[in-house]
Amino acid sequence: MKLTLRKPTLEDKSAYLNYIEAWGNEFVIPTASSLNQRTFEELIERIDLDEKNMIDPVHRVPATTYILIDDSQEIYGAICLRYYLNEDLFKYNGHIGYGIKPDKRNQGYGKYMLSLVLEKAKEHKMTMVLITCNDENTASFKTIEACGGVLENKVYKTDGYIRRYWITL
């Protein structure tokens, strides 16, 4: 089985809807990959506009959302790479947000997907990336650390602490 990291396309609709359904009542992460009362077609359009920073250039930054998909068209996860940080992203969210489908967690796919997007960051001449996770999300911080993340600090956000990691590329 071959896994590929790529941008979703309109041809991925069925696989993507299955991916979203697999999350059940969980909050889909990253939020850039959730439907949030949008159609799949609107999501694809938003992903394209996000990459060009055409949605809200004052409050958002250019970003690309990728999916990790196998050769049978099953989507394992989604990951968003932001090309620079605004104040809020610097404090709490970082350059990268990612999520793995519930039935694929704790199998190494998050680490693999993160390593692939770090290569994309290098292609964009990024030299360091900030990545964060909730303090209680052990699987996520172990994934970040396995990919070279160095904990800078923890900051409090309304519902708990956020771990802030830097990865040197």
- pLDDT tens for 79-128 read 999 999 999 999 999 999 999 999 999 999 999 999 999 999 999 999 99
The model carries a pTM of: 0.95
Beta partners for 77? 68, 100
Q: Evaluate if residue 5 carries a pLDDT over 90.
A: yes
- Quick one: 88 exposed, middle or buried, by C-beta within 10 A (0-12, 13-18, 19+)? exposed
Q: For 45-72, b where at least 16 C-beta lie within 10 A, e where not — what string?
A: ebbeebbeeeeeeeebbbbbbbbbbeee
pLDDT of residue 21: 96
Q: Evaluate if residue 28 carries a pLDDT over 80.
A: yes
Domains of the chain as residue ranges with CATH: 3-168 (3.40.630.30)
Where residue 49 falls among pLDDT bands split at 50, 70, 90? very high
